[in-house]
Amino acid sequence: MGAGMAGRVLAAGFPLAVYNRNREKADPFSNAGALVAGSPREAASRADIILSMVADDAASRSVWLGADGALAGASRGATLIESSTLTVGWVLELAAAAAQLGCELLDAPVTGTKPHAASGELLFLVGGSASALATVRPMLSVMGRDIIHLGATGSGALMKLVNNFVCGVQAASFAEAAALIGAGGLDRERAFSILTSGAPGSMLVKRVADRVLANDFTPNFLLHLMAKDLRYSIEEGSRCGLALQTAAAALGVFQHAVATGHGDEDFSAVVKSVP
């Protein structure tokens, strides 16, 4: 995702410094005119806008905090953007740390997959101030088809968790449906066609069905990250006094898929773990 986003920024003519924990993944951007930094701090020290796209809270903390973290290199007045799918609690903690340095944070996670990132068709879900969003909107616009300002800091992070837990529930239910179709001896292609063309046929269900029929589980969105997002959603629900029972059930299905060796496949591979 980050590579596709960086490619869009470069193509639009913005000066860019990039950092990746695996330097080999960042090296191609050097040939395209970007500075490949040796640390998040070095990358941030050259930027008015600092954007992170990583896997989870732990990776985000590692990128932003510490002596070599991006916050250590951020200049006063810089706008920080966290586009990863994270807990609301960590986003609020990061925003407070940024404010102490005279910077402002936007939580701006995205919906979409790697092809959407590469083609500039992401949807940004933004929490934070309208003034900070106005500052970074020109850059976000080259990466996304739309930018939705949801409200105060944490709003974008919460909406992304809601979005992904609904996706996870749909994928888990389709996996069980596929198992029942097989156990009952129905023709799989016909049954899938009925589901995808009828009321259950969301874009996500159609995508999972297509992957299953093609037997193609090359990752666009890693299965273990969907399990992570379901877990974060359940934790956020608990913080709000809600028991997200369907999310909990879906998490069990995805955890079983991880345990049976499918964590590094596309999340649609969850169908392979349901008997």
253-269 per-position pLDDT tens digit: 999 999 999 999 999 99
Q: In which domain, by residue range, is 241 found? A: 158-273
CB neighbour list of residue 170: distance below 8 Å, 6 or more residues apart: 202, 204, 205, 208
Cα atoms in the 13 Å half-sphere on the side-chain side of 250: 28
CA distances for 125 relative to 160, 189, 246, 257, angstroms:
7, 35, 23, 29
Which of 99, 123, 151 corresponds to the end of one domain? 151
pLDDT, the chain, mean: 97
DSSP helix/strand/coil, 78: coil
132-148 per-position pLDDT tens digit: 999 999 999 999 999 99
12-31 per-position pLDDT tens digit: 999 999 999 998 999 899 98
Q: Which helix (H) or strand (E) holds 226?
A: helix 223-239
Q: List the CATH number of the domain containing 199.
A: 1.10.1040.10
**Do 28 and 133 belong together in one domain?**
yes
**Do 68 and 196 belong together in one domain?**
no
Q: Which helix (H) or strand (E) holds 132?
A: helix 130-143
Which pLDDT belongs to residue 163?
A: 98
**Do 179 and 144 belong together in one domain?**
no
Q: Taking 90 as the threshold, does the pLDDT of residue 223 lie above it?
A: yes
DSSP helix/strand/coil, 44: helix
Phi and psi at residue 110, to the nearest 5°? -125, 155
Q: How far apart are CA 159 and CA 146, in angstroms?
A: 15
**Do 101 and 163 belong together in one domain?**
no
**Do 136 and 197 belong together in one domain?**
no
81-112 per-position pLDDT tens digit: 999 999 999 999 999 999 999 999 999 999 99
Q: How far apart are CA 224 and CA 248, in angstroms?
A: 15
Q: Amino acid letter at 239?
A: R
- pTM of full prediction above 0.85: yes
Nearest by Cα to 171 from 259, 266, 242: 266
Q: List the CATH number of the domain containing 79.
A: 3.40.50.720
Q: Taking 90 as the threshold, does the pLDDT of residue 46 lie above it?
A: no
